Amino acid sequence: MTATLNETPAPEAHRIPGDVLLNRLTPEQIEAFGAEMDAIRRRVIAELGDEDATYIRKVVKTQRAFEVAGRALFYVPPAWPLAVAALSVSKILDNMEIGHNVMHGQYDWMGDPGLSSRMYEWDNVCPSEQWKYSHNYIHHTYTNIHGLDRDIGYGVLRMDEDQEWRPYYLGNPLYATLLMLGFEWGVAMHDLEVERIFAGEKTWADTRHLHAGLIRKIRDQALKDYLLFPALTGPLFPLTLAGNATANLVRNIWAFNIIFCGHFPAGVSTFSEEECEDESRGHWYYRQLLGSANITGSRLFHTMTGNLSHQIEHHLFPDIPARRYPEIAEDVREICERYGIAYTTGPLGRQLGSVARKICRLALPDRLTGRRGSRQPDPVVEPARAA
Amino acid sequence: MSLTDTILRSRAVAALTSPHGVDRYLEQVHPMWAAHEVRARIVDVHREVDVPGHPAVATITVQPTSTWRGHRAGQHVALGIEIDGARRTTRVFSVSSPESRPGDRITITLRANPAAPDGQGVSRHLVERAEPGTMVHLSQAEGDFVLPDRVPEHVLLISGGSGITPVMSMLRSLQRRTHRGRVTFVHYSRSPEHQIFAAELDDVRRSGHGIDVHLFHPELGDPALSAARLERLVPGYREVPTWACGPAPLVEAVRAGYDGSDALRVEYFQPPRTTVTGVGDVSFARSGLAAANSGAPLLEQAEALGLTPASGCRMGICLSCVSRKTEGTVRNVVTGEESSLPDEDIRICVSAPVGDCVVDL
């Protein structure tokens, strides 16, 4: 990965700390920091029990209730907006607070096959098996490392200065909008690495092992949302079909926005492969922290984001039940303050604005926007922000 | 099968409830509603043996959901229970009641395992604390230690301790089928106080009907099982179809006495094996490979043997390498936590065996 370097440094403060920060703590500090994170992990895992089980079961019950209510309300045409709202909530809860978190193994300790990372299948077109590979393994292990983490721009967008500008990226805002509207499809196609097929780096045949799973999942999802449930409402078929499609769309937009606030707002760092060679456990924790951002909000908001509003804590402890992240966040912030590590967080509106500006800015070549490549060391670092 | 069951198990309902499946919805309405899974409600807990200072034995009667397909005498079920309301722990127990039909009540007779850690002992919980009304999760009946459909003229049933449960199911089934041939029932228990099903066996012995019951109690001086002893009880026993179940020493003695005869079918409980850090053997059941435990995480030990299990991050976060440990204790090298549960899904990249360990790879 070569960065597009600009000869004249920009006058304003460096907004992407990246490697500058990764080298700032001494190896001893990094190790001590990692030990503190491990201690949090041990403490929370020892506490897991009844409350966590009750919580997730309650969320599942709520999700199933919204789903049944949504499907039923389509029989009452005036209640169409309510039906769409209920089904949207159902799909959001299923995909985020339940699906995403269960598939991280957060509830495997319960021994319940219905909440097992190996068994759970979520209500969208991406087969869980394929998602677990690209997300749990690739994204969570190599978070924000250029060339390894395909979640940087998902192979479609330019989300970082270190992705070399090409005229193709002029469409950045358009691609982002399309990805938002069809987010479940983007997630489903992620493993195919279509951009690498276009670039000639791999062939369509290399993705053959994914086809059967993808086709089956897409068929099952389309069958129920676009054929069976509409058909069951008889003459209301078109209304129900439109309602189901809208619910899927609402979920897509919501999930896209929350997830893009997790790694792309200003203040979040990306890394090079060289920086992360022979990484220690403490270094890994440190990278997860620098590479993620939180969103502030109410308890209901956190639940509706699947607690991905605590993306930092999620990346530090991806397999700890997400309902624990708010309490863990207090400790993590205190530790960050002691070590002087930036902890990026902000309200949804601000983080979204920051991401949107980045998407538009990076559509243009760096020389036009007056930014330079982030690989250049810069002693000035944005300090930790208050929530 | 009722019309409701037929509808609930139909492909149309499966398509409508995809990807979760109909049981994930039914269970939200009522815990005993199921179309595929088997759950059961405990209806009675009865102490069979209660000798002070010794682990108690109890018979648990459960009413399964209509999804229970029935069992053949001698089979076992996996029973899962949420002991503290959160963690479901599953253990395998033999069914002690006679062969059952779909939806029939069944009983499980078990001894509380005194070695089970607090909060993880399914048998201890069931024997000591389970109450009628409690929900449990069941598998369908499994196992091929069963009576054949055409029962031989003479049947020999040998058991020791709580190994009596599957052969008791056989004996009860034979009685219910009004078997006209001969049955010889041989059982070893420590003393008469430790005898499970004592009253029922006494009735059987007195009623005759071609069933010979021989109960032996080593604490009263009865000699251990041997070929000579079997020959005296059942002349020509090597030719008699025999089912034997019990602790390892008893089953080994029976095996030696049968000298490879295919009239013998056995089932036994594994003896506990060593659990000391860095010693013992690591075995990979599916590939049949084994080696001395090096103390390294199981993933590395598997790879050292030439296996290529699925793996990803190698640091315990991505779950790509999750495999089933069937026996032994492992230590999480990150957290230092140790875990000895059988049939447990573990992340082999961060789990190092402590002593003997068997992984399904």
| 8 Å CB contact of A284 and B315 | yes
Domain boundary among B269, B300, B321: B269
Together in a domain, B291 and B315 = yes
> Which of A63, A121, A137 has the highest number of chain B CBs within 10 A, making it the mutation to test binding with B?
A137
Which residue among B269, B291, B316 closes a domain?
Answer: B269
Which residues, including other chains, have CB under 8 Å from residue B49's CB and lie 6 or more apart? Answer: B56, B57, B111, B193, B194, B195, B196
Do B191 and B262 belong together in one domain? yes
Q: Which residues of B touch A318 (CB under 8 A)?
A: 317
- Look at residue B312 in the predicted model and tell me its pLDDT: 78
Instruction: Identify whether residues B300 and B199 lie together within a single domain.
Output: no
pLDDT over threshold 60, residue A147: yes
Q: Which among B89, B104, B138 is the end of a domain? A: B138
Identify the CATH number of the domain in which residue B254 sits. Answer: 3.40.50.80
Structural domain count of chain B: 3
Give the residue numbers spanning the domain of B347.
Answer: 281-359
For residue B259, give every residue at least 6 positions away whose Cβ sits within 8 Å of its Cβ, in sequence order, or none. Answer: B238
Asked if the Cβ–Cβ distance from B19 to A220 is below 8 Å, we say: yes
Q: What is the pLDDT of residues A254-287, one digit of tens each?
A: 999 999 999 999 989 888 888 888 888 999 999 9
Residue B164 lies in a domain: yes
Whole-number Å distance between alpha carbons of B135 and B171 = 29
Give which of A94, A140, A223, A232 to mutate to test B binding, by max B Cβ within 10 Å.
A140
Residue B342 shares a structural domain with residue B245: no
pLDDT at B273: 39
Which of B84, B319, B350 should we substitute to test contact with A (largest number of A Cβ atoms within 10 Å)? B319
Instruction: Estimate to the nearest angstrom the gap between the alpha carbon of B236 and the chain centroid.
Output: 31
How do residues A152-177 score in pLDDT, each as one tens digit?
A: 888 899 999 888 999 999 999 999 99
* CB contacts, 8 Å: A140 with chain B: 313, 317-318
Residue B209: predicted pLDDT: 79
Say which of A38, A104, A137 has its CB closest to residue B320. A137
CATH code of residue B119 = 2.40.30.10
DSSP-assigned states of every residue in B313-333: SSSSSS-TTEEEEEEEEEEET
CB of A207 within 8 A of CB of A192?
Answer: yes
Here the CATH number for the domain that contains residue B322 is 3.10.20.30
Chain B residue numbers touching A49 (CB-CB < 8 A): 84-87
Domain annotation covers residue B14: no
For residue B30, count CB atoms less than 10 angstroms from its CB and return exposed for 0-12, middle for 13-18, buried for 19 or more.
Answer: exposed
Alpha carbons A51 and B226: distance in angstroms, whole number: 55
List, in sequence order, every beta strand (DSSP E) within A163-299.
Answer: 293-296
- Picking from B18, B317, B322, the nearest residue to A220 by CB comes out as B18
B110, amino acid identity: L
Neighbours of A370 (CB within 10 A): 12
Please report whether residue B2 resides in a domain.
Answer: no
Phi, psi of B31 (to 5 degrees): -60, -20
Size of interface A-B (CB pairs under 8 A): 103
Minimum distance, in Å, between the CA of residue B86 and any CA atom of chain A: 5
Task: Please tell me the predicted confidence (pLDDT) of residue B267.
Answer: 84
> Does residue B158 sit in the same domain as residue B265?
yes
pTM (two decimals): 0.86
Of B130, B87, B88, B86, the C-alpha closest to B108 is B130
Average pLDDT over residues A71-79: 97
Q: Do A50 and B84 touch (CB under 8 A)?
A: yes
In this structure, what DSSP letter does residue A164 have?
A: P
Residue A303 banded pLDDT, cuts 50, 70, 90: very high
